[in-house]
Amino acid sequence: MHTMTPQDMLSATDLLRTGPVLPVIVIHDAALAVDLAAALLAGGIRALEVTLRTPAALDAIRQIRDRVPGALVGAGTVLTPDDWRRAQDAGALFGISPGLTPALLAAAQKSPLPFVPGVATASEAMAALDAGFTALKLFPAEAVGGRTLLKSLHGPLPQLLFCPTGGINPGNAASYLALPNVACVGGSWLVPEPALAARDWSAITTLAREASALRAAA
């Protein structure tokens, strides 16, 4: 189990404000994790979401946590309390879920680490708020109304801050980031499969640098 240092203890809001884009990383080979994280960090992207969709994910989180100082590595696609426990044991500094369940919210409340539950409706956002969560993932963003939905939610729920994910790309990211209740966007375009397979770290650093500049564009 990893020990926490004060700089690791971010709030969920601080986490979402770390950079304009939170890369959604699907990694099949943990041996690539350290170089990948270093390439993203070199482009100015510090917070990294490694999704638990692959068998390599937990090992990748562990390697980044141990060997890439400055990176804030967390777990995405956290679906159950057991997922969250295993992610924390691997050294994840935060957790993100595509949704929320009472069991998952209860497990997240017991952890000192930031957790970002996913919502797609006003009722789900209210349930998350009721459980004490104000930093949320909107998923799947484009499919459920995207910017129009976020603008509508801001009126009755101005205290909520979102990381919309799902259908976000370099073409629409800046328009999401311009919204007052959007802290960052989640996107997989920073880690394209061909670049990862080719170990083209300079291409990934370039994409990270472009993503880091999106805040200014917004």
Q: For residue range 166-208, list pLDDT tens digits in order.
A: 999 999 999 999 999 999 999 999 999 999 999 999 999 999 9
Task: For residues 3-22, give the mean pLDDT.
Answer: 81
pLDDT over threshold 70, residue 1: no
- Can you give the pLDDT at residue 218? 64
User: Could you tell me which residues come within 8 angstroms of residue 5 by beta carbon, excluding any fewer than 6 positions away?
Assistant: none
What's the topology of domain 6-217? TIM Barrel (3.20.20)
**Could you identify the residue written with the tokens 């205290």?**
159
Catalytic residue among 49, 124, 151, 210: 49
Confidence of residue 10 (pLDDT cuts 50, 70, 90): confident
Distance CA 48, CA 37 (A): 8
3-state SS, residue 24: strand
- Can you give the pLDDT at residue 3? 52
- With 0-12 / 13-18 / 19 or more C-beta atoms within 10 angstroms meaning exposed / middle / buried, residue 194 is exposed
pLDDT over 90 for what percent of the chain?
Answer: 94
User: In terms of pLDDT, which residue wins out, 1 or 120?
Assistant: 120
Distance CA 206, CA 218 (A): 19
- Can you give the pLDDT at residue 216? 75
Q: Which of 109, 96, 108 minimizes the C-alpha distance to 16?
A: 96
Tens digits of per-residue pLDDT, 49-92? 999 999 999 999 999 999 999 999 999 999 999 999 999 999 99
- Can you give the pLDDT at residue 7? 47
- Can you give the pLDDT at residue 127? 97
Residue 137 is a catalytic residue: yes
Least confident of 113-117, 121-125, 213-217: 213-217
Q: Which of 206, 136, 147 minimizes the C-alpha distance to 174?
A: 147
Confidence of residue 6 (pLDDT cuts 50, 70, 90): very low
Q: Which of 39, 71, 49 minimizes the C-alpha distance to 205?
A: 39
Residue 94 CB coordination number (10 Å): 30
Residue 49 is a catalytic residue: yes
3-state SS, residue 74: strand
Residue 123 CB coordination number (10 Å): 9
Catalytic residue among 137, 142, 193, 210: 137
